[in-house]
Structure 1
Amino acid sequence: MAVLKVIEVLANSEKSWEAAAKSAVKHAAKTIKNIKSVFVHSHSAVVEGDEITEYRVNVKITFEVD
């Protein structure tokens, strides 16, 4: 029987929401092994003037516990 754990991570990118999600997984993978999935819970953006300057995501990362 596998035991899974879920953590919540906030990440950002100047490029896209997809890049922010990838960044969250890459950063989490530095200390967490056996990542199985990522769920984008919400996303938002920072606007300056009439341009989006930063994309933000709130993700839930699921990993298997040894």
Structure 2
Amino acid sequence: MSVARVTEISATSPQSFEDAVTKGIERASETLRNVTSAWVKEQRVKVGNGKISEYQVNLMVTFVLDD
């Protein structure tokens, strides 16, 4: 039997939502062991001068706890 935990993180990128997700997962994996999945809970953009300046995602990251 395994037990998992879910934690929420936020990641940003000046390029795209996909890049923000990738950066968020990569960073979470540096600190958390056994990352198995992530759910994109929320997406937002920052706008400056009528253009998108930053993409932000809030991720629910699932990782399995060590035995």
TM-score, normalized by the shorter chain, greater than 0.5: yes
| Identical amino acids, percent of aligned pairs | 35
Q: Counterpart amino acid of 1:21?
A: V
For the residue of structure 1 that corresponds to 2:31, the secondary structure is: coil
The gaps in structure 2 that reach 5 residues or longer are none
Count of matched residue pairs: 66
The gaps in structure 1 that reach 5 residues or longer are none
| Cα displacement (A) at 1:9 | 0.1
- Structure with a larger share of its residues in helix: 2
TM-score norm. by structure 1 comes to: 0.96
The RMSD of aligned alpha carbons is 0.6
| Cα displacement (A) at 1:38 | 0.6
TM-score norm. by structure 2 comes to: 0.95
Please name the residue that 2:43 is paired with.
43
Please name the residue that 1:25 is paired with.
25
